[in-house]
Amino acid sequence: METVFISSGIPDDLRERLAKRYRVVDVPEGTTEGFAAYGEPAGWFMDGGTPVNAAVLAQLPTLRAVSNHGVGYDSVDVPAATSAGVTVSNTPEVLDNAVAELTLGLILALGRGIVKYDRYVRDGSWEREWPPYTNDVHGKTLGVVGMGRIGRRLAELVQPLGIEVLYHNRSKNPAIDESGVATHAEWEDMLQRSDFVSLHTPLTERTRGFFVKEDFDLMKPTAYLINMARGAVVNTDDLIAALKNGTIAGAALDVFEEEPLPASHELLTLDNVIVQPHNGSATVETRRAMVALGIENLEDMLEGRRPRTPLNWDDIHSS
C-alpha cells in the first residue's frame, strides 16, 4: 500500500476514503526535513503553509503527485516539481463564489462605512453626535486587477448595483469583453477612474510587490483598495503611507505579507482599514468542496489520470 502525506485539514469521511487505498500519514504543516520518520510518499495533500521546493523534493524520490488545497500555489515550486517528474494540481473553480461574495461584502463595508459605524456605536460616539455621511456604492466604478474566474464572478455580482466594471490583464479577455460585464482598460486609466480597485492576481515573480506608491498616487483620494490576491502583491510600506496621508480613502485586506498578521502590526492602528484573516474561501461548503476536489485530483494523479485542475500535467506527459 502506497503512502500519502496529509499536511492540511481533511474531513473524516474523505480521510477514510483515502485510507481504503493508501497508507495515510499526517505530516505537520511547514515540514521541510526529517521525512524519513513519516515514510516514502507517493502523494502529498497540502496547502499554502507547506513549502515544496527543490530541496524538499530531493528528499522525496518516491513522490509522484502533490495536490495543493487552494487556488494559490506560490508555496509550490512548480518548475522544480516538473523537473522531478512530480505532477501538481490546485483547487480553483469551487471557491469562485465564496471569494467573490466576500469581496462584494468588503466593497459595501468600505463604501457604506459598515465597520466604521459599528465602532462608532460601540464607543459611544453616537450619543455625542450624528455620524458623518458616506457615499452611494450604486453607480460607482470598480477596477478588477486580474480578470480570471473570481474577477468575472465579482463583476457579475455587482451588476445589480449599477457598478461599472473595468479590468486590467496583461491582455484582453475576449470572453469578458463579449459578455458585457466588464471593459478592458489600460492600467493608468483604470486606476484613475476606479472608486474601488480589487486585486485578484496570482503571486508570481512579475506580480510580487508590483503595486507601489506610483500606483496609489494614480488613484482617487476617495478610492479604496481591496486585496484578495496575496499580501506580497502590494508594497505594504507604500500602502500604509497612502492610508495615513490620505492618498486613498481606505483599504480592505484579506491577505498579508506576514500571516497570521501580528496584533502589533501598524495596519491595525489605522481606522480606514478593514482586515480579514485570509478567509476569502472560508465557508463550510466551499472548504469541503476544495478538499474533495484536492482528494479527487490526488487520486487521479496517483492512478495515472489527468487531474481535473492540473498545473503541470501536460508539461510532464506531453511526450
Catalytic (active-site) positions: 230, 259, 278
Please give the order of strands across the beta sheet that includes 3-7: 23-26, 3-7, 41-46, 65-68, 87-89
Q: Residue 141: which H helix or E strand, with range? A: strand 141-145
Please give the Cα distance from 61 to 255 (Å, whole number): 34
Residue 78 in grid coordinates: 512548480
Residue 75 in grid coordinates: 508555496
- For residue 241, the one-letter residue type is A
Please give the Cα distance from 67 to 65 (Å, whole number): 7
Please give the Cα distance from 53 to 76 (Å, whole number): 6
- Alpha-helical (H) ranges within the chain are 12-19, 54-58, 78-83, 96-111, 114-122, 125-128, 149-157, 174-179, 187-193, 213-218, 236-244, 284-302, 313-317
Residue 148 in grid coordinates: 480570471
